[in-house]
Amino acid sequence: EPEVTQTPSHQVTQMGQEVILRCVPISNHLYFYWYRQILGQKVEFLVSFYNNEISEKSEIFDDQFSVERPDGSNFTLKIRSTKLEDSAMYFCASSAGLTGELFFGEGSRLTVL
Amino acid sequence: GESVGLHLPTLSVQEGDNSIINCAYSNSASDYFIWYKQESGKGPQFIIDIRSNMDKRQGQRVTVLLNKTVKHLSLQIAATQPGDSAVYFCAEKNYGQNFVFGPGTRLSVLP
């Protein structure tokens, strides 16, 4: 069964450092997303991406965040200068169409010290 | 503003009983809803979905009910099993491309 894969599963970084989280969406999907989940809280939308550009972003997705699809398979989330409050589980998701099921990866846990 | 919320943050049920998890939403324009299950340390896993032109949809041991009049969504799990223990989120599709998630309900199945 096709799945969304994410790396790394866990990353520990110092405050102020840059972090790149990587995702390989399901191959025939066209819409890509990043969500985050602070421990014990709900899943929050960060950004959606379609046709090589951001289609929507939330207030959380400020200038410290960026996304990129550098090739035909990877979808990355970069945090330029991490803050303590960036510590969370980051989930990548993809969907085949604008309406329809979101498939989530297993997440990347980011710990900022 | 738009919000998706849950009435009960935790729910404990006896194994074999039926579970009902509720969700309220405020955006009457939402036309697609999904229930996700999240086990500890894992990503959300699709359970069942429903579109706004329906009021009920059934899957294997699960049923989703949609009441658009009161903007209420529920997930019914029949014959709850220990493997059903998890956090359950409802997600609402709004006019944009992103899903809005509710705060989650933790379901604990008691032996």
Side-chain-side CA neighbours of residue A58 (13 Å): 15
Query: From CA B18, how far away is CA B30, in angstroms rounded?
Result: 28
In this predicted structure, the answer to whether residue B12 has a pLDDT above a threshold of 70 is yes
User: Distance between CA A102 and CA A105 in Å, rounded?
Assistant: 10
pLDDT digits (tens, 9 = 90+) for A16-40: 999 999 999 999 899 999 999 998 8
Interchain CB distance below 8 Å, A91 and B44: yes
Give A 32-71 residues with CB within 8 A of chain B: 33, 35, 41-45, 48, 50, 55-56, 58
Question: Can you say whether the dihedral through the CA atoms of B47, B104, A4, A101 is positive or negative?
Answer: positive
Q: Are A79 and A103 in contact (CB under 8 A)?
A: no
Question: What pLDDT was estimated at residue B8?
Answer: 46
Percent of chain B having pLDDT more than 70?
90
Q: Which residues contact B34 (CB under 8 A, 6 or more apart)?
A: A101, A102, B46, B47, B48, B49, B90, B91, B93, B99
Please, which residues have CB within 8 angstroms of residue A35's CB and are 6 or more apart in sequence? Answer: A43, A44, A45, A46, A90, A91, A92, A93, A104, B101
- Which of A35, A43, A94 is the best mutation test for B, with the most CBs of B within 10 A? A43
Residue B82 Cα, gap to closest chain A Cα (Å) = 21
